[in-house]
Structure formats: C-alpha cells, structure tokens
Amino acid sequence: MANDSEPFSEKLRVPEALTFDDVLLRPKESRMEPDEADTATRVSKGVELNVPVLTAAMDTVTESDMAIAMARQGGLGVLHRNMDADRMAAEIGRVKRYDELIIRNVVTAHPEQTVREVDSMMDHKGVSGAPVVDDETGEVLGIISGTDIRPYLEVGESDAVTEAMTDEVITASEDVTPREALELMYDHKIERVPIVDEANRLVGLITMRGVLKRREYDDAARDEDGHLRVGAAVGPFEVDRAEAADEAGADVLFIDCAHAHNANVIDSAREIKATVEADVVVGNIGTREAAEAVVDFADGVKVGIGPGSICTTRVVTGAGMPQITAVSQVADVASQHDVPVIADGGIRYSGDAIKAIAAGADAVMLGSYFAGTDEAPGRVIQMNGKKYKQYRGMGSVGAMSEGGGERYLKEDDEDDYVPEGVEAATPYKGSLASELHQLVGGMQSGMGYVGAETIPEFKQRAEFVRISAAGQQESHPHDVMITDEAPNYSPDS
Ligand code: XMP
C-alpha cells in the first residue's frame, strides 16, 4: 500500500502477468508418440481421473446428462447449483446409478401371476426377463424370460408363471466382479444373474447388456464401488447443500465462488470440509497468497479470476489475473502441499488446455468448449441457418435471477443486479465424446512435442517461450481463406 514513504507512482512498477496467447510450449526432443501420452491425473487429493478435463458448474453446461457422459469418457462433470438441494441430490443419484453393474430396482415376477400377466408386465416395464420372487420371504424361486414365454412352449397363457420359469437359477453374491458375472453368463448361456444375500433373498440383478455396456468405457471415472464419479458445486455458505450432496454420493464438492480469497468464504469452506466425506475443492483463486490461505485444508484448488469466455468480471470490476500467471502462482504454493490445481476458464483450444497444465495445473475446466454439445442442457436453436445452443455466465442477469448470485457474494434484487457475465449463444457441436476426443488428442500431441509421457513428467519438463503479437498471428492460419472447417479449430473461438 502506498504511504508517505511510498509514492503512488510506485504502483505502476507492475509485474507482468501472462495468458495463453502470450506463450508457446518450447518443443523438446521426444522419444514417444503422442498416442502413448498418458493423461491420468488427480483432480483432488482423493480423486484420480484418466482424462484431465472437467465441465464447468454452469446451468448451460453441466447437469446429469453431461456428468454421465464426462465420467464415462474418463473426465468429471461438476453439477451447477442453480437448482435446489433436493434436485441436486437426485441428479447426483442419477449419475451414481447410471452405469451400475448391479441393478437395484429390479422388475420382479410373483409366483401367483399367470404367464400372460408376466408377459404384459415385462412388456410394459421394458425388460426381457425377471426373477420370480416369493412375496413373503423375498427368496428367488426362479427366473423367467421372454424366450420362456413367447413361444408358449408347453405352457398356456393362463398357467402360473412357475410352470414356465427356469427354476435352477444361477445366482451370485454382491461382491461378484464384472468379469466373474460375465463368466457365469457365458458358462451357463444366460443373460442375467440375480444377486442374492445369504438367505437367497433378491438384492439386485446383473445383465449381460449392462456388463458389456460398461466395457465400452474402459477409462471411465469410477468410485471404489464402480459407480461413475460426479462433482457438485456448492455456494460459499451452503453447508446444507454440501451435506445433501455429500449424502447423495458426490465425489468432490466445489466451493463455487468468484473470489474465494475472502475470510468469510474460507471459514465456511473449512466448515464444509469438516462436515463432509467428499473431497472439497476451493475456488476460484488467482494468486499465491490466496493459495496459501487455503492449502492447509483444501483437497484441491481452482484457478480463474475473469478468464472465462462469458465473463465480464475484469471489465466490470477492474480486477483479475491473466490465467497462465494465475495458474503458475497458485501451483507454486499448491505443489508444495501436494494439493491438485484445476485451471478454470478461458480455454478455447486444446493448445490452451495443455499450456495450463504446463503452467502447473493438474486438470482443466471448460465451459464454452462443451456448451454446444448434445449433453449440455438446453435445446438447439437455429439462427440465420446455423445451429446454436444457449451459453450464459453464472454471473449474468439471467443466471443470477435463478439463484447464481451467491457466487458473486451478492444478494441484490433482480433490478439491482451488477452482472459479471453475459448471456450468449455458442455453435452447436454434436456429441461430447467427439469434442472431448479432439481436446484430449490435442493435449496428447502437446505432450508429444515436449517429449513427456505422463502429466507429472510433462509439468516438470515443459518450458514456455514468450511470443510477440507477430508470433501470435503466425500461430493461426494466415494468408489463406479456410475452405473446410477443421473439427478442432475455429477462427472465432
Ligand atoms: P469458459 O472460458 O470455459 O469459462 O467458458 C468457464 C468458466 O467461467 C467462469 N464463469 C464466470 N466468470 N462471470 C465470470 O466472471 C460469469 O458470469 C461466469 N460464469 C462462469 C466459471 O469459472 C466457469 O467454469
């Protein structure tokens, strides 16, 4: 602070802060191919991912559809908090149950039902088989499938289902692995295995379709019980929501604040951390001192003060920190305490994402990059013959009027909002999987140029060069007219 001995003009001896377009990765000798680059990382102290990418906690980016798609691909979706705690718990539950190996809500048949009744019940519920369960004891008596019924082999439509069912049922216990379940199915030429307790009571069902579906997602982010992982945003003072999200099974809670280097926010974040089982990531921050204030309790820190595509924080408040410098300052401190760093906002290209990792981040969070995908909330809109989806800042008037204001530590009435974000449209992009493929593929290529096979090795080995405006211009396609759009480059990004 300026005082008598420190003239105000001293304030203009300012340090330089850099962002994505100011730097490039210096190419280095490489002994690997980009495809060999392993992108596994940690997003918080207790949560590892195979893909170092998170989707933003924004109401036009991440609800359960996005979180499911992200976790299946190996990343993490962070549910936004413009919904009440009950709905958030339901969304978390939906992600957790989605790729469940053991189906808990099993459609069952009862011994007194007729073949016709069971046939129409299975049709109605959209299943092709059902365990037959004793109503009183809950024991599995047999299993019935469409093939037992449809040809009405030796039974009539009005016979009891017990006449048609297979009564030598192959069952397994709850600790069966996907591989063991599949072996049982192949060995016995069956498509479903009821899961039973010690008293042969039905507790769940594993289907061949379910096991094979899971196999398509080898890199998926799963918890110890095999459920998809999911993150959830909680407001800086929302202890109740944090508890509800934790109870519903969220793996990581993200304290969702535009300026987390605030004593009240930090006190509340500490309280939340002491209350919940889930990991707690604190954000957003953008300086060394902010990192120092939270690394003693945070399981991760999130960096980004105003870099986002829909953010107006820097122009409205005059405050902010260019993202490459912000990430590197926070990472200096966080790495000393083994706390993972997430770079949040401002990433337009895969090259930006891998630069953020080179600057010290362990993972990146993106909003605009994914807002145009099928899995983001909202419908596709047509404008001038082109397809778009809505994308808006959580500090925009529209989002704040639906509950987002707390992120900006404001409780104004709608007429008094001082927004820090805009409402916009972003080009429609199709499936998340193909967008993520381009993003991660580009990041792997960046690792290849630096010759680093893993994220930790890359963070150590990567060096930056500073580029001029002319260098920046040279980096983009120039002196040509682009005739065919590339899947990973748009001059408007
Ligand atoms: P991108 O650039 O990926 O940024 O679209 C997404 C991140 O931007 C932050 N965010 C905001 N920042 N005003 C802001 O200053 C806003 O209205 C706003 N909404 C989101 C947030 O960190 C998000 O992950």
Q: Which residue has the tokens 């009862």?
A: 110
Domain assignment present for residue 484? The answer is no
Is pLDDT at 2 greater than 60 in this prediction? no
Q: What is the mean pLDDT of residues 53-81?
A: 97
Residues 82 and 224 in one domain: yes
Q: Where are the beta strands (DSSP E) in 88-189?
A: 129-133, 140-145
Q: What is the pLDDT of residue 407?
A: 72
Task: Please give the Cα distance from 399 to 76 (Å, whole number).
Answer: 22
248 and 183 share one domain: no
Looking at residue 214, what is its pLDDT?
A: 85
| Beta strands in 335-432, from DSSP E residues, in sequence order | 341-344, 363-366, 380-383, 386-392, 423-427
Is the domain of 405 the same as that of 448?
Answer: yes
Q: Is the pLDDT of residue 104 over 90?
A: no
3-state DSSP call for residue 199?
Answer: coil
Task: Answer yes or no: do 137 and 91 share one domain.
Answer: no
Instruction: Give the binding-site residues of ligand 1, using a 6 Å CB cut-off.
Output: 56, 58, 258, 284, 304, 306, 308-311, 313, 344-347, 365-369, 393-396, 420-421
Domain boundary among 182, 208, 234: 208
pLDDT band for position 153 (50/70/90)?
A: low
Banded model confidence at residue 3, pLDDT cuts 50, 70, 90 = low
Residues with Cβ within 8 Å of residue 304, at least 6 apart in sequence: 283, 284, 286, 323, 326, 343, 344, 345, 346, 365
In a domain, 293, yes or no: yes
* pLDDT attached to residue 290: 98
Whether the CB-CB separation of 22 and 467 falls below 8 Å is answered with: yes
The residue ranking higher by pLDDT, 308 or 493, is 308
Name the pLDDT band for 127 (thresholds 50, 70, 90): confident
Instruction: Give yes or no: residues 159 and 297 share one domain.
Output: no
Question: What's the distance, CA 436 to chain centroid?
Answer: 12
Phi, psi of 350 (to 5 degrees): -60, -30
pLDDT of residue 225: 87
Residue 9 lies in a domain: no
Ligand 1 centroid from CA 92, angstroms: 22
At residue 414, does pLDDT exceed 80? no
Q: Note the pLDDT tens digit of each residue in 466-475.
A: 999 998 899 8
Query: Residue 132, SS3?
Result: strand
Q: Are 151 and 255 part of one and the same domain?
A: no
Q: Of 208, 230, 247, which residue sits at a domain end?
A: 208
Q: Residue 256: which of 286, 295, 284, 228 has the closest Cα? A: 284
Q: What is the pLDDT of residue 252?
A: 98
- Residue (of 464, 443, 462, 463) closest to 37 by Cα position: 443
Same domain, 67 and 143: no
pLDDT at site 404: 65
Q: What is the model's pLDDT at position 155? A: 66
Residue 392 lies in a domain: yes
Mention every residue, 6+ apart, whose C-beta is less than 8 A from residue 90.
248
Residue 119 lies in a domain: yes
Q: Are residues 136 and 263 in the same domain?
A: no
Active-site residues, by number, are: 311, 407
Calculate mean pLDDT across residues 415-439.
Answer: 92
Predicted local confidence at residue 442, as pLDDT: 97
Least trusted range by pLDDT, from 176-185, 228-237, 298-307: 176-185
Question: How large a percentage of the chain has pLDDT more than 70?
Answer: 95
Mean pLDDT, the chain, rounded, equals: 92
Residue 155 placed within a domain: yes
Report the CATH number at residue 202.
3.10.580.10
**Same structural domain, 175 and 311:** no
- Which of 394, 402, 422 maximizes ligand 1 atoms within 8 Å of its Cβ, making it the mutation to test the pocket? 394
pLDDT digits (tens, 9 = 90+) for 336-384: 999 999 999 999 999 999 999 999 999 999 999 999 999 999 899 999 9
Nearest protein Cα to ligand 1, atom 8: 308
Question: For the chain, what is the domain count?
Answer: 2
Q: Is 214 inside any structural domain? A: no
344/429 same-domain check: yes
Q: Which of 66, 259, 310 to mutate to test the pocket of ligand 1 (most atoms within 8 A of CB)?
A: 310
Note the pLDDT tens digit of each residue in 170-202. 999 999 988 899 999 999 999 999 999 999 999
What is the pLDDT confidence band of residue 151, given thresholds at 50, 70 and 90? low
Please check whether residues 333 and 366 belong to one and the same domain: yes
In a domain, 453, yes or no: yes
Give the confidence band of 412 by pLDDT, cuts at 50, 70, 90: low
Distance 264 CA to ligand 1 centre (A): 22
Domain coverage including residue 132:
115-208
Instruction: For residue 301, list its beta bridge partners.
Output: 282, 341
State whether 288 and 347 are in the same domain: yes
Domain CATH code at residue 251? 3.20.20.70
Mean pLDDT for the stretch of residues 33-55: 97
Using the Cα atoms of residue 427, residue 432, residue 437 and residue 443 in order, give the sign of their dihedral.
positive
- Residue whose tokens read 């890359």: 458
